[in-house]
Amino acid sequence: MKRKPWIGCMPLVDKERESYWLLPGYMEGIILAGGIPIMLPLTGEKDIIIQLAEQCDGFLLTGGQDVSPQIYGEEKLSVCGECSEERDAMEQLLLPRVLELDKPVLGICRGIQFLNAALKGTLYQDLPRELPSPFEHHQKPPYDVPSHKVKICEDTPLHKLIGKREISVNSYHHQGIKKLSPFLQAMAYAPEGLVEAVYMPDKKFVWGVQWHPEFSYQKDEDSVKIFQAFVNACR
């Protein structure tokens, strides 16, 4: 039997319930694509983080709280949502080592935002106020139905994967990419111009999407393809 890649998944943090958890779709999407998802411990201990970076075959930066503006050198505005210092701290140690090792990373929602912030980009702290738009980026449930379209850029790995110039995606995010990181390239834009997917051109597979394939993979073939591309890169 061929060995399946281990995918380390950043846990979601529920401060009220004092619990770390994951949405099933993250794990099921990875399993469907042939990987083994593992929820990582949330820790600031560098030795543990470095060992995790070395042992896992790929990393899923999940959704979650807003990214701390400190990471991109801005004051936290009152409109910024709750942040998770623990996630920020762990991901700030994990990501550089993972990039050094050139292991695959998929960032979803907060994950694309963290990638951009950690790689010298900036974020809208409160998207609806800072980039008013007729398009719904914070849809109501159910989350497995599309909310807005995105234009996919030609000559990007996402275009190569999906083979379409436009797809419809779900949308459930409070922040978004403001200044794109100089280390990332946009792969898709919402109609008003918001960056909705990125990749790191000089790495094997470092992708981020602003939408939520973990909610839509049961209905949407393109969401499955994203999980497959990620897990295949981890083999």
The DSSP letter of residue 137 is S
| Lookup result for tokens 């994990």 | 94
Does 212 participate in catalysis according to the annotation?
A: yes
Catalytic residue among 56, 91, 174, 214: 214
Q: Which is nearer to Mn ion, 137 or 174 (CB)?
A: 137
Does 154 participate in catalysis according to the annotation?
A: no
Q: Is 103 in the site for Mn ion (CB under 5 A)?
A: no
Does 109 participate in catalysis according to the annotation?
A: yes
Q: Which is nearer to Mn ion, 40 or 156 (CB)?
A: 156
Tell me the helix, strand and coil percentages in the chain, rounded to 5: 30, 25, 45
Q: Which is nearer to Mn ion, 162 or 234 (CB)?
A: 162
Q: How many residues make contact with Mn ion (CB under 5 A)?
A: 2
Q: Which is nearer to Mn ion, 25 or 37 (CB)?
A: 25
Binding-site member from 156, 171, 175, 181 for Mn ion (CB under 5 A): 171
Binding-site member from 110, 137, 178, 212 for Mn ion (CB under 5 A): 137
Sheet of 36-39, strands arranged across: 36-39, 6-9, 58-61, 105-108, 206-209, 195-199, 185-189, 148-152, 166-169
Dihedral angle computed from the Cα positions of residues 160, 162, 163 and 168, in that order, rounded to the nearest 10 degrees: -140
Catalytic residue among 109, 174, 196, 234: 109
Task: Report CA-CA distances (Å) from 73 to 68, 85, 107.
Answer: 9, 15, 21
CA distance linking residue 61 with residue 113, whole number of Å = 10
Residue nearest to Mn ion (CB): 171
Task: Report CA-CA distances (Å) from 151 to 42, 48, 141.
Answer: 35, 40, 23
Q: Give me the least distance between CB of 217 and Mn ion, in Å please.
A: 17
**Can you give the binding site for Mn ion, defined by CB under 5 A?**
137, 171
- Catalytic residue positions, numbered: 109, 212, 214
